Amino acid sequence: MKVLVINAGSSSLKYQLYDMTDETVLAKGLVERIGMDSSILTHKPTGKEEVTEVSEILEHTTAIRKVLEKLTDKEHGVLSSVDEIQAVGHRVVHGGETFKGSALVTPEVKAEIRRLFDLAPLHNPPAIMGINAAEVNMPGVPNVVAFDTAFHQTMEEKVYLYPIPKVLYKKHRIRRYGAHGTSHQYVSRVAAEFLNRPIEELKIITCHIGNGASLTAVKGGVSVDTSMGLTPLEGLMMGTRSGDLDPTVVTFVMNKEELSISEVNSMLNKHSGLLAISGSSSDMRDITDGWEAGKPNETLAFEMYEYRLRKYIGAYAAAMNGVDVIVFTAGVGENSAIVREKTCENLSYLGVELDKELNKVRSGEPRRISTPNSKVEILVIPTNEELMIARDTLQIVQESK
Ligand code: ADP
């Protein structure tokens, strides 16, 4: 079965086409600047040359039509006909409390995703546009939605509730939902497979650290706590997001600086984190370069980032009364040996022992970077949210038949 995975943003659309007989990627690509003049479609068929096309793409329906044209193109295509695509999987950011797993798209499911617009005003509307665009371009082909929040729906009430008036939860569903669920679930499963141990008996801390960053405590294969909250702002210090702070900072700053709600939201989401402390960049490569060169602002940014990451690892070891495995994944987690080294250096009290040489090895494969003596297995596992979505899509479509 061939499955197309779509990740639709407000002005972009990423895609990957899978042949699920052997889980290979046949082609992938990206449409950028949707709705602006000169949209860019970058199409990379496996084993063939990448092509870029600039044209006017005003909305998602046209974007998917162009993608399908590329996928069936004589020169750059990988399919003889669109009919070969038997299912489409969509990434959706917020599934609220309704979706505890991926789901087949029905009118009711779409209505529920729309109802959740309030909780993810920037992210859920484009997902609906992506689903509608797939339905228009591929009538009769089943669509499946996979939610970033679904994996975390196993958290207990004592974990997901905030200690604020309960009426706010009842009225507005204010609680911890978490994010990056597809990634945390994927890497925790791969970790258990890699170690050849049943996931049911493992306590795993998964560190998904990229531009956005979150940690999850995975006990017995389910999420028991995660660092992102009502929105993906809570928790770790990130590229441009603050992560945890005293909530009074918000009202204090709004008052003193006469900031509006959208201005303070923008400050915390786009102008904080590594960018704010370094004053130069949100990219960990620049931060570690600056740290190595002894630049004071980059050094402080790096130290704050590592300290906060380590504090959360300690918290989740406490939450699970121990930890067997720590997994590093996503842009920083997979690539930054120095972030991993510095973080693990101060986890010796947990019995963590990093093999510094193994830590420096680069490979796109799951690998162990701890010594044989380490009491905690330290793994680097490349995440693959698209594959996880494709697997869910295949399973749900087969079950629905
Ligand atoms: P997103 O959260 O947008 O999906 P990614 O998981 O792709 O992001 O992570 C992107 C980030 O990964 C970059 O901003 C950069 O900070 C970091 N990164 C990528 N490569 C490296 C590297 N070699 N060393 C350190 N950091 C890296």
Q: pLDDT tens digit string along 162-184?
A: 999 999 999 999 999 999 999 99
Tell whether residue 332 is among the known ligand binding residues.
yes
Query: pTM of whole model > 0.85?
Result: yes
Q: What is the DSSP string of 218-252?
A: EETTEEEEES--SSTTSSS--SS---S--THHHHH
Helix (H) or strand (E) holding 143: strand 143-147
Using CA positions, which residue lies closest to atom 27 of ligand 1? 332
Exposed (0-12), middle (13-18) or buried (19+): which is 261, by Cβ within 10 Å?
exposed
29 Cβ inside 6 Å of ligand 1:
no
Q: Given the CA of residue 288, which atom of ligand 1 is nearest to it? A: 25
d(CA 311, CA 154): 23
d(CA 397, CA 142): 7
In Å, what is the CA distance from 224 to each residue of 54, 97, 189?
45, 15, 15
For 85-124, how does the pLDDT look when each residue is reduced to its tens digit (9 = 90+)? Answer: 999 999 999 999 999 999 999 999 999 999 999 888 888 9
d(CA 94, CA 336): 29
Per the annotation, the verdict on 148 as an active-site residue is yes
Q: Is the pLDDT of residue 401 over 90?
A: no
d(CA 401, CA 395): 10
Strand partners, 244: none
For 193-210, how does the pLDDT look when each residue is reduced to its tens digit (9 = 90+)? Answer: 999 999 999 999 999 999
d(CA 73, CA 48): 12
Q: Is the pLDDT of residue 328 over 90?
A: yes
How many alpha carbons fall within 13 Å on the CB side of residue 77?
A: 14
Q: How far is the CA of 137 from the centre of ligand 1 (A)?
A: 33
333 Cβ inside 6 Å of ligand 1:
no
* Candidates 148, 225, 324, 392; catalytic one: 148
Tell whether residue 14 is among the known ligand binding residues.
yes
Q: How far is the CA of 335 from the centre of ligand 1 (A)?
A: 7
> Is 93 strand, coil or helix?
coil
